[in-house]
Structure 1
Amino acid sequence: MAKDKTAPEKTGRIQQFRQTYQLTKKTDRRIGLWLLGAFLLVGAVGFVVFYFLLPSKGVIGLVMAIVGAVLFGSLAALILFGRRAQKSAYSQMEGQRGAAGAALRMLRRGWRVYEEPVAVTKQMDVVYRVVGPPGIVLVGEGNQHRLRTLMANERRRHERVAADTPIREVICGNGEGEVPLAKLVRHVQKLGREVKPAEMTDVLNRLKALDANRSPVPMPKGPVPTSMKGLRGNLRGR
């Protein structure tokens, strides 16, 4: 039974890598050459290191050196693939509605990411919310001037139920004072560590009560990027 369960998982993982590779190749035509070069170069270094540093010589030493070279080369190619795939995904999402929300889903363990926005204007300016070590982070996407008012209103709503929790505001974009899409996740992660994991449950329960009294927020129409979902799964599987 266990074998039958693992087989579809492996097939799904391979399919996921294939899809991510195809998406990446749309904007990074030389991705295959980069991966091959990284595998050969780092693999050669790994071969030399294993062959000359291991005490075993002869056939056993050669086999271990080849295995080490394959491991080193594969790891280097996988790391490079993850970085270039991430860069490509951000490039494809740039300018699309919902891009900030898709990027925020890259946040890993220790973060609570709300996929639906907490506020939307008629012009489709959007405010997303994530909760993590820095506290509550409101991330705006759209026109900066309209977002200032929208985010200020959301800050006041959140302060009513979580007055002791730090609330940060970030606007995703390429204007002055905004955070580019490609740097959004890292920027949010570097906002500090003021909420302990033990306090997260209380904060989330307070926000749940706030959301219960909120009218449903319509999702912004238009292409919502999904390429980050597969990429996130690939990075977690490394």
Structure 2
Amino acid sequence: MAKTRNKAEIKAAKEQAKAARKAASKQRRAQLWQAFQIQRKEDKRLLPYMIGAFVLIVAASVALGMFAGGITRFTLIPLGVVLGALVAFIIFARRAQKSVYRKAEGQAGAAAWALENLRGKWRVTPGVAATGHLDAVHRVIGRPGVIFVGEGSAARVKPLLAQEKKRTARLVGDVPIYDFVIGNGEGEVPLAKLERHLNKLPANITVKQMDALESRLGALGAKAGPAAAMPKGPMPTAAKMRGIQRTVRRR
């Protein structure tokens, strides 16, 4: 009886897991379709670029297959269709991402939102310092070291950055500390190029050192009192597409 019951429980668990996977897959497809519809309405060049890339790659594979002849003809054509669909999807993903960042740019909390959506082993602590004018400084720990990202008025943010760097330098020793301000002015980093800018920084520390740094800096935040509140201004409209972005990346 016990064995029969165990088999039934295992079977039920498998069916439940299968149903959960199907539901998750259906949700991802729905999110992608929603993202495509939103982008298609806002970006009139999206469909021509996607269709053009697909047709061009398929036509090239057909021509190459006809020229090669034999069995190669029957392998190149399906390969061209798959490759064309993949390139069309990449075009959609890239243009959708640019649109998201364009909408978010200039809004309070946009840098924090972008940092929390970074790909890779980054440890993000938003709002380690802030002003009443919705300016904020966010801390990132990664392979380059400690990075402070400021958003808001450069005149108000730069003193905050200097203060956080000074406090942090006492704890981190020789670990490099970087800082920059999000914006389109001279010496600033545009929001859309934030991830690329971070990835260009050299790797100076190991993942194990990152863990130690996170613990030490967490203790520093606790001693300083409650964390600075994030700006209470409107979060980026693009934040609504956060789940969609993650879905696109997974696909």
Assess if the C-alpha contact under 8 Å between 1:125 and 1:141 holds in 2: yes
Assess if the C-alpha contact under 8 Å between 2:134 and 2:231 holds in 1: yes
CA distance in 2, matches of 1:10, 1:167: 41
Secondary structure at the aligned position of 1:128 is classed as strand
The 1:157/1:6 distance shift into structure 2, 3 A limit, reads same
Secondary structure at the aligned position of 1:56 is classed as helix
Please tell me whether residue 96 in structure 1 is matched to residue 111 in structure 2: no
Residue identity matched to 1:237: R
Unmatched 5+ stretches in structure 1? none
Please tell me whether residue 230 in structure 1 is matched to residue 240 in structure 2: no
The percentage of counterpart residues that share the same residue type is: 42
Query: Radius of gyration: which is bigger?
Result: 2
Q: What is the aligned partner in structure 2 of residue 219 from structure 1?
A: 230
Normalising by structure 2, report the TM-score: 0.84
The 1:200/1:38 distance shift into structure 2, 3 A limit, reads same
Larger helix fraction of residues: 2
Q: What is the aligned partner in structure 2 of residue 33 from structure 1?
A: 48
CA distance in 2, matches of 1:204, 1:32: 45
Secondary structure at the aligned position of 1:96 is classed as coil
Cα deviation for residue 17 of structure 1 reads: 1.1
Cα deviation for residue 125 of structure 1 reads: 0.7
CA distance in 2, matches of 1:35, 1:163: 50
Q: What is the aligned partner in structure 1 of residue 29 from structure 2?
A: 14
Cα deviation for residue 173 of structure 1 reads: 0.5
Unmatched 5+ stretches in structure 2? 1-14
Give the number of aligned pairs: 233
1:161-172 paired onto structure 2 within 5 Å: 161-172=171-182
Assess if the C-alpha contact under 8 Å between 1:47 and 1:69 holds in 2: yes
Normalising by structure 1, report the TM-score: 0.88
Alignment root-mean-square deviation, CA: 2.1
The 1:26/1:147 distance shift into structure 2, 3 A limit, reads farther
The 1:71/1:128 distance shift into structure 2, 3 A limit, reads same
Assess if the C-alpha contact under 8 Å between 1:128 and 1:138 holds in 2: yes
The 1:126/1:26 distance shift into structure 2, 3 A limit, reads farther
Secondary structure at the aligned position of 1:117 is classed as strand
Assess if the C-alpha contact under 8 Å between 2:143 and 2:207 holds in 1: yes
Q: What is the aligned partner in structure 2 of residue 145 from structure 1?
A: 155
Assess if the C-alpha contact under 8 Å between 1:140 and 1:147 holds in 2: yes
Cα deviation for residue 111 of structure 1 reads: 1.5
Please tell me whether residue 190 in structure 1 is matched to residue 200 in structure 2: yes
Cα deviation for residue 5 of structure 1 reads: 2.1
The one-character-per-residue Cα deviations of 1:119-151 (angstroms, maximum 9, x if unpaired) are 110111111111111111100001111111111
